Amino acid sequence: MLKTVNQFTFNQEVLASSNPVLVSFWAPWCGVCRLVSPMLSELQTKWDGRIKLVSINADENLKLANAYKLTTLPTVMLFDQGNIHCRLEQFQNRDDLKTASADLQAALEEIMLHQNSPASV
C-alpha cells in the first residue's frame, strides 16, 4: 500500500526513515503513473516490510518536484539513509517497467547487503 507523503511530511517519512524508501512521484493526469504503482507494490510485498513505499503527487508538491528536478512523470527514487540510491524515469511502456523493476531489485539487494555487512554493524 502506498502511503501518501507531501512536502510537510517528506523529511520525516523519507529522509529520516531507518528503512529504505521507494518514492513514486506521480500526477493524476499521468497514465503511465498508474502502471508503476502495481510494480512498486509488488516490490514492497517481496521485501516484506524492509522497505517503505510512498507516493507524492508532484502537482500538489511543487517544492519537492523542483527540489528533485523532476522533468518527467512518473519518477521513482530509492532513498537510503536520506540519500538517493537509485533514480528511474523516462518510462514509456511495460518493457521499461520490467527493466525498472529489475534495477530497483538490484539496488535494494545492494542496500540490504551493505546494511547486513559486518562493517555496518
CATH classification at residue 111: 3.40.30.10
The mean pLDDT of the chain is 88
Domain that holds residue 11: 3-120
Instruction: Give the C-alpha separation, 56 to 118, whole Å.
Output: 35
Once rounded to an integer, what is the mean pLDDT over residues 58-82? 96
Q: What is the pTM of this model?
A: 0.85
The catalytic position among 33, 65, 73, 108 is 33
pLDDT exceeds cutoff 90 at 2: no
Cis bond before residue 74 (omega within 30° of 0): yes
- As a whole number of angstroms, the longest Cα–Cα distance in the chain is 46
Number of Cβ atoms within 10 Å of the Cβ of 117: 9
- Mean pLDDT for the stretch of residues 64-79: 96
pLDDT (tens digit per residue) in 82-118: 999 999 998 877 787 788 888 888 888 888 888 776 6
At residue 23, the pLDDT reads 95
Cα dihedral value 32, 16, 49, 7, nearest 10? -30
Q: Which of 7, 17, 27, 30 is catalytic?
A: 30
Q: How many domains, in total, are found in the chain? A: 1
Least confident residue range of 30-34, 38-42, 48-52, 113-117: 113-117
Annotated active-site residue 30? The verdict is yes
Contact between residue 43 and residue 24 where contact means Cβ atoms under 8 Å apart: no
If we measure between CA atoms, which residue out of 52, 4, 9 comes closest to residue 28? Answer: 4
